[in-house]
Chains A and B, each alone.
Chain A
Amino acid sequence: MTETATTGTPADAEKSRRDFLLVTTSTVGVVGTALAAWPFIDSMNPAADVRALSSTDVDITPIEVGQAITVVWRGKPVFIRHRTSKEIDESAAMALEDLPDPETDADRVKKPEWLILVGICTHLGCIPLGQRKGEPKGEYGGWFCPCHGSHYDTSGRIRRGPAPKNLTVPTYAFIEDTTVRVG
């Protein structure tokens, strides 16, 4: 080592070669470990059987005007509300600039008399009240979340309280006039 050290350059070359080897092997090691971690992480994601339960068919004939039912889709409650014409008009008439999360009623329904929503408060996931007779519907005639006090209107839009977003509209389709497929 002494003779190379005195000449200078070969030692430097040796050093940078070693640095290069160190950096490349460590990089490959780190990337490899990260790749190997993925199967473990992904195993925690929804499994195939959970994903397979992706749609629910609902017969909507028994729901009368002004009534609502709750069905389960992917383990979540889904609200199906047969709106009255008054509720439909109120929702449509609402000025967008007065909404915290602006969306027209028309964008949130396929048929105005049927409002279909995921019944989970967009704040921290409680189920808002207002589905059953006698439950508080909040100040805007839709739903009221008791957990931290969010009020939703007759289109399921957030009007007041800590929830940041409107109640989610799930993907759904009317496969017949009397049957909805959620999911």
Chain B
Amino acid sequence: MTTPTWTNPIIKWIDYRLPIFTFTQHHLVEYPTPKNLNYWWNFGSLAGVVLVIMIATGIFLSMSYTPHVDYAFDSVERIMRDVNYGWLLRYLHMNGGSMFFIAVYIHVFRGLYYGSYKAPREILWIIGVIILFAMMATAFTGYVLPWGQMSFWAATVITNMFTAVPLVGEAIVNWLWGGFAVGNPTLNRFFSFHYLLPFIIFALVFVHLWALHVHKSNNPVGVDMKGPQDTIPFHPYYTIKDAYGMGVLMLVYLAFVFFAPNFFLEPDNYIEANPLQTPPHIVPEWYLMPFYAILRAFTQEFLWIPAKVLGVIAMFASVGILALLPWLDTSKVRSARFRPIYKQVFWLFFVDCLVLGYVGANPPEGYLILLGQVATAYYFLHFLVVMPVLGIMEKTRPVPDSISAAVTPGGTSGKEDT
């Protein structure tokens, strides 16, 4: 990459001491990007935009929010009724959480489809999995803050999972709670974590992008960029494309904020927390439902390990197993475009996740118990059996020699109309 020569004396003076302009030039302007990225590549930057909105709205909400069991619920109601534009800040924050997960889930499924987790992007992918864990912790602690019935009981059920740890389980939950049940110390520390974690996510996103910029983006064809003919500069081509995607996202996001602000919320969370009354049906937010279904799928002990412990292990493993995917997928071909069977298996897996979500949203009764168990079994089979075996057995279609050969056949110059 060429080092730009700056003509403006002030820019020159600063850049000599802190090469921030050169950095921007390299990573946001002339940064070489595959010329064939489709719209599924928008969701990373969209997630970044939502993260910034979450941090901004969160900081301003904190100015009117009181993390105390006697005041938290009322302070959120005050934000809704009395604080100027408080309703807007809260609805942006509440629905922003859902938008964040929609963007990130699409981003992850994009990676699964196009094999973006394969060498040399394993660390990039693993950082993504860590970000996903951190997002879940952030969303969970945030959900507790308004101190409604769902807040309280979600906190109770989730923290109680740690009692599954042998011997020290009880000590761990008392430590998490700062007491002998979910109470004021718990709310206080959840607020502290909820404020902290997004900034950790922000830092992780930086490391994620650092790893990305070493080997650069994968692309729909899944073959590496071989030279300038395969690339276009990030600016203006992808800045404009990302900006367009952001417009579409805002349209959807704001439609929820203004016209269906409580669409994603459980009505029970507008009832103040009551530690002596469990609501008839406890559900997490939609984006955690598949994992909740996996937690509940275990109803029998196995090898003397109690059902509760198995459920908790499986739930964490269901996210953690993604980190092993680069090694579980044995196929040499990245993109599902050239993997006719994987292409179908991918959609099967996608449907499996939807089924798990449906099961997680409903009380575990009747056929849903069995459905949840089958879907959980398939979830793990996909990673542990299907991916390793398919990579060896599958007859892949011929992979093009280069991006240009695939998208601009007959031409060698990247300047051609695609």
Enumerate chain A interface residues (CB-CB to B < 8 A).
41, 44-47, 50, 70, 72, 74-77, 120, 122-127, 146-149, 162-164
Chain B's closest residue to A164 (CB) is B306
B179, A46: Cβ atoms under 8 Å? yes
The reply to whether A126 and B156 form a contact with Cβ atoms under 8 Å apart is yes
The count of chain B contact residues (Cβ–Cβ below 8 Å) is: 37
Chain A residues near B298 (CB-CB < 8 A):
162
- The secondary-structure label for the interface of chain A is loop
Tell me, yes or no, whether B318 is within 8 Å of chain A by CB.
no
Q: Are the C-beta atoms of B185 and A47 separated by less than 8 Å?
A: yes
Q: Is B4 an interface residue (CB 8 A)?
A: no
- The smallest beta-carbon distance between A88 and chain B, in angstroms, is 26
Residues of B within 8 A of A46 (CB): 174, 177-180, 185
B308/A76 in contact, CB under 8 A: no
Chain B residues near A70 (CB-CB < 8 A): 276
Apart from A46-B180, A147-B282, A148-B296, 11 more pairs, CB < 8 Å: A45-B174, A46-B178, A50-B178, A74-B181, A75-B182, A76-B181, A126-B153, A126-B156, A163-B308, A164-B306, A164-B308
Contact A74 B185 (CB under 8 A): no
| A contact residues around B178 at 8 Å (CB) | 44-47, 50
Contact across chains for B275 and A75 when beta carbons are under 8 A apart: yes
State the CA gap A164–B304 with chains docked (Å). Answer: 11
B307 within 8 A of A: yes
Instruction: List A contacts of B183 (CB < 8 A).
Output: 50, 75
CB nearest to B160 among chain A residues? A125
Given known A44-B189, A124-B157, A148-B296, contact A77–B308 (CB-CB < 8 A): no
Can you list 15 A-B pairs with a CB-CB distance of less than 8 A? A44-B178, A50-B185, A74-B179, A74-B181, A120-B181, A124-B157, A124-B158, A124-B161, A125-B157, A125-B159, A126-B153, A146-B280, A147-B282, A148-B296, A163-B308
Contact indicator A146/B185 (Cβ below 8 Å)? no
Which residues of chain B (158-204) have a CB below 8 Å from chain A? 158-161, 163, 174-183, 185, 189
Known: A50-B185, A162-B308. Contact between A75 and B180, CB under 8 A?
yes
Q: How many A-B residue pairs have CB under 8 A?
A: 81
Provide the bound-state CA to CA distance between A44 and B156, in Å.
Answer: 17
Tell me, in angstroms, the Cα distance from A89 to B178 when the chains sit together: 40
Contact, CB under 8 Å: B276 / A77: yes
Q: Are B160 and A72 in contact (CB under 8 A)?
A: no
- Interchain CB contact under 8 A, A126 and B282: yes
B278 within 8 Å of A by Cβ? Answer: yes
Contact, CB under 8 Å: B278 / A127: yes
Q: Does B395 contact A (CB under 8 A)?
A: no
In the bound complex, residues from chain A placing their C-beta under 8 Å from that of B276 are 70, 72, 77, 127
Taken together as a complex, chains A and B put the C-alpha atoms of A88 and B178 apart, in Å, by 37
B35 to chain A, nearest CB (A): 49
A125 partner residues in chain B, CB cutoff 8 A: 156-157, 159-160, 163
Complex Cα gap A70–B274 (Å): 14
* B163, B179, B307, most chain A CB atoms within 10 A: B179
Chain A residues with CB below 8 A from B177, complex form: 46
Q: Please, how many angstroms separate the alpha-carbon atoms of A124 and B308 in the complex?
A: 8
B281: Cβ under 8 A from any A Cβ: yes
